[in-house]
Amino acid sequence: MKNATIAGAGLVGSLWAVYLAKRGYKVDIYESRTDLRKANLSAGKSINLALSDRGWKALEKVGLGDEIRKVAIPMYGRMIHALDGSLTHQPYSVNGDAIWSVSRGGLNCVLMDLAEAQGNVDIHFNHKCTGVDLETGSATFSERNSGEKVMTEPGLLFGTDGAFSAVRKAMQRTDRFNYQQEYIEHGYKELSIHPNEDGTHKIEKNALHIWPRGEFMLIALPNLDGSFTCTLFHPYGGEVGFDALDTDEKVVDFFKSTFPDAYELMPHLLDDWHENPTSSLVIIRCFPWTKNGKVALLGDASHAIVPFYGQGMNAGFEDCTIFEKFLEETNEDWPTAMKLYEEERKPNGDAIAELAMRNFVEMRDLTGDPKFLLQKQIERKFAKLHPGKWMPLYAMVTFTDIPYAKANNRGKFQDAIMEEIMAMPNIEDNWDSDEVMSAMLEKLG
């Protein structure tokens, strides 16, 4: 039987194991953490995930879609919470499309179960990667408790071990390997909104809730048990940055003044604040993603991004889809498939990193801006009138598998058009006129 080793049993590693197992490989996954399925999956260092079309496509390809839908909740739009407590619902698309809220830990557990159910996948927990042989595609792992060393057979090695990948670290020491690591000024902390006593949700269940406050942003995604996983995105520095919120009184005062309606829903705020770590956000860019036709990086190991487009997991899952496509096309010629994979995915990894940062600005600064909302209204109307000529950037990224780089370029082209449209006289009064719609059509050429 053909053998493959995967470093990392996270979301992408577990899914990639299923892909390989279905191709007849005996797969050994080595994971440095303990088995999530035997641990407490309560709050901690985790942002809830938003599954969208790219992720669903990767899951459907190996028959996992129905299983995952059982543990996911559709969100049909953003619910914007203004400082005065007023609510605005912004649909994600004119077609009623949804992104799906799913617990990172819960999804990971399901994927590990499904990987093991293939019959030729073994997951070895508490095994830290301590060495990589890029020439042979083998690796050495150390069992955390006993210190016992395990060396894998030469063959295929995949690094799906996250933003600080041990497999990538070995590649970084090779000639002409490019690597860039960038921390943004914001970190995040996970908080929660508990369910009502009867297990129902305290706020709208089928929406992604956003409290946009410029420099600060709070979001909330629904869980099956009636709770919401909330994430505060917050700078480290500044007068009320994470570093300055160093007493319970300061934390409470900040929430009461900045997120008053959320504060009323969070009687356990201080418990969450102290229990859950403040975590940083990093962007990783590197190249190449493969070595010697034997070693390859997928997911965050090759393109870690910030979470503001909800595409980190979806992009990692799409890595699996694209890699599999090239394996099929090359009749499993691994060196050729690996080259095609990295050439296809690298520009798209760079594009979604850029898009994620731009969406952060949109979510925190613009979702409450009347002019921005008017622009989106105009775009939606035009898209409905001319669906073949205009698709909003968010829809391209979230509800299609148009390559990220292509969507990014098209989005910039459309933004330039909208800048001219928004500068038209009396646009606030005439936005839905034939004149405006004709001007957009003309500018599209």
For each of the chain's 445 residues, which pLDDT tens digit applies?
Answer: 699 999 999 999 999 999 999 999 999 999 999 998 887 654 334 567 999 999 999 999 988 899 889 889 999 999 999 999 999 998 888 788 999 999 888 899 989 999 999 999 999 999 999 999 999 999 999 999 999 999 999 999 999 999 999 999 999 999 999 999 999 999 999 999 999 999 999 999 999 999 998 888 999 999 999 999 999 999 999 889 999 999 999 999 999 999 999 999 999 999 999 999 999 999 999 999 999 999 999 999 999 999 889 899 999 999 999 999 999 999 999 999 999 999 999 999 999 999 998 887 776 666 667 888 899 889 888 988 888 899 989 999 999 999 999 999 999 999 999 999 999 998 998 898 999 999 999 988 7
What are the Cα distances from residue 55, in Å, to 137, 313, 363?
A: 28, 7, 22
Start-end of CATH 3.50.50.60 domains in the chain: 2-41+104-181+282-358
Tell me if 18 sits within 8 A of 114, measured CB to CB: yes
- What confidence score (pLDDT) does residue 11 get? 96
Q: Are strands 156-159 and 2-7 parallel, antiparallel or unpaired?
A: parallel
DSSP state of 36: G
Exposure b/e, 173-206, CB count within 10 A at least 16 = b: eeeeeeeeeeebebbbbbbbbebeeeeebbbbbe
Q: Per-residue DSSP letters for 189-211?
A: EEEEEPPPTTS--SS-TTSEEEE
- What confidence score (pLDDT) does residue 43 get? 39
The Cα–Cα gap between 52 and 200 comes to 25
Helix (H) or strand (E) holding 345: helix 334-361
CA 332 centroid distance within chain: 29
Tell me if 144 sits within 8 A of 126, measured CB to CB: yes
- What confidence score (pLDDT) does residue 355 get? 95
Taking the CA atoms of residue 85, residue 88, residue 92 and residue 96 in that order, the dihedral angle to the nearest 10 degrees is 120
Q: Amino acid identity of 244?
A: A
Cis previous bond, 288, omega within 30:
yes
The neighbour count for residue 115, using CB atoms within 10 Å, is: 27
- Residue matched to tokens 């001007």: 439
The pair phi, psi for residue 307, each rounded to 5°, is -90, 20
- What confidence score (pLDDT) does residue 60 get? 95
Tell me if 234 sits within 8 A of 186, measured CB to CB: yes
The fold for domain 2-41+104-181+282-358 equals: FAD/NAD(P)-binding domain (3.50.50)
Tell me if 87 sits within 8 A of 137, measured CB to CB: no
CA 260 centroid distance within chain: 28
SS3 22: helix
